[in-house]
Chain A
Amino acid sequence: MSRQEILSWSSLTFSTSVLFFYLIMVFGWPEAIPDYSDRFTKIFLNIFWIALAVELIIGLTEHKSKITKDERDEKIEAYGHKYAYSFLTFVLVAILFQMFLSNLFGEQGNNYLFLGSTSMIFHILFVVLFASSMIKRTTMIYHYRKEW
């Protein structure tokens, strides 16, 4: 497993754990599911620290290794960027369209909002940011794994 692939795995787990904490913090634990929040929080907290440590170690030792990234890594990263960018663009266009409709219909338009208030838009943007990072890393891991 190359350093870039390890970095992809650690970055994916880091983004997943951050997203989990954020969703639990903002929306709380879903009522329909039995409350395992304590257990999950412990697991994700451990994952978070491990992923952070791995990313730091890779970052700090980057210059010591001779070759850490080459044209194949860059090509795989480009695939990841492509899908993450498409996802990000789609969500941003959806939000802009939503805001446009809201402004067009004024008060009445608020009944058709699927995003709700401005604070909800902020939460959605935050989630989308990390989700796009997860998409990028998942795509990269898929391409790294596909070759074996």
Chain B
Amino acid sequence: MSDSAITNQIRKFRFQNGEITQAELAEQVGVTRQTINAIEAAKYAPSLELAFKIADAFDKPLEEVFQYRK
């Protein structure tokens, strides 16, 4: 599981949404805090379902939260 080609704005949106912690976001979307940390650091590419859940938690469209790095 090398560095993912998918980048994200999770950190930015966490702070824009009342500075919620990784643990709080993890609980909201049903994963462990370590997984959120790995996604945020672009070390792990989430499944499509999880990506939608994360975007939904921030009330943003998917493409605003996740970007594909060519």
* Interface residue ranges, A against B (CB under 8 Å): 1-3, 5, 66-73, 75-76, 143, 146-147
Task: Give chain B residues whose Cβ lies under 8 Å from the Cβ of A71.
Answer: 31, 35, 46-47, 50
Task: Give chain B residues whose Cβ lies under 8 Å from the Cβ of A67.
Answer: 26-27, 30-32
Q: Tell me if B32 and A146 are in contact (CB < 8 A).
A: no
Given the interface contacts A147-B41, A147-B43, does A70 sit within 8 Å of B35 by beta carbon?
A: yes
- Measured CB to CB, the nearest residue on chain B to A1 is B34
Q: How far is the CA of A66 from the CA of B33 in the complex (A)?
A: 11
Task: Give chain A residues whose Cβ lies under 8 Å from the Cβ of B30.
Answer: 67, 70
Q: Kindly state whether residue B20 has any CB partner on chain A within 8 Å.
A: no
* Interface residue ranges, B against A (CB under 8 Å): 1, 26-27, 30-35, 38, 41, 43-44, 46-47, 50
Q: Tell me if B32 and A75 are in contact (CB < 8 A).
A: no
Q: Tell me if B27 and A72 are in contact (CB < 8 A).
A: no
Given the interface contacts A147-B43, A147-B44, does A68 sit within 8 Å of B1 by beta carbon?
A: no
Q: Tell me if B32 and A73 are in contact (CB < 8 A).
A: yes
Task: Give chain B residues whose Cβ lies under 8 Å from the Cβ of A147.
Answer: 1, 38, 41, 43-44
Task: Give chain A residues whose Cβ lies under 8 Å from the Cβ of B50.
Answer: 71
Partner of A75 from the list B1, B26, B27 (CB cut-off 8 Å) is B1
Task: Give chain B residues whose Cβ lies under 8 Å from the Cβ of A146.
Answer: 1
Task: Give chain B residues whose Cβ lies under 8 Å from the Cβ of A75.
Answer: 1
- Measured CB to CB, the nearest residue on chain B to A76 is B1
Task: Give chain B residues whose Cβ lies under 8 Å from the Cβ of A5.
Answer: 34
Q: Tell me if B31 and A70 are in contact (CB < 8 A).
A: yes
Task: Give chain A residues whose Cβ lies under 8 Å from the Cβ of B32.
Answer: 2-3, 67-70, 72-73
- Measured CB to CB, the nearest residue on chain A to B39 is A72
Q: Tell me if B31 and A72 are in contact (CB < 8 A).
A: yes
Q: Tell me if B34 and A72 are in contact (CB < 8 A).
A: yes
Q: How far is the CA of A147 from the CA of B1 in the complex (A)?
A: 8
Q: How far is the CA of A66 from the CA of B50 in the complex (A)?
A: 17
Instruction: Name the distance in Å between A145's Cβ and chain B's nearest Cβ.
Output: 11
Interface centre among A5, A69, A73, A147 (most CB of B within 10 A): A147
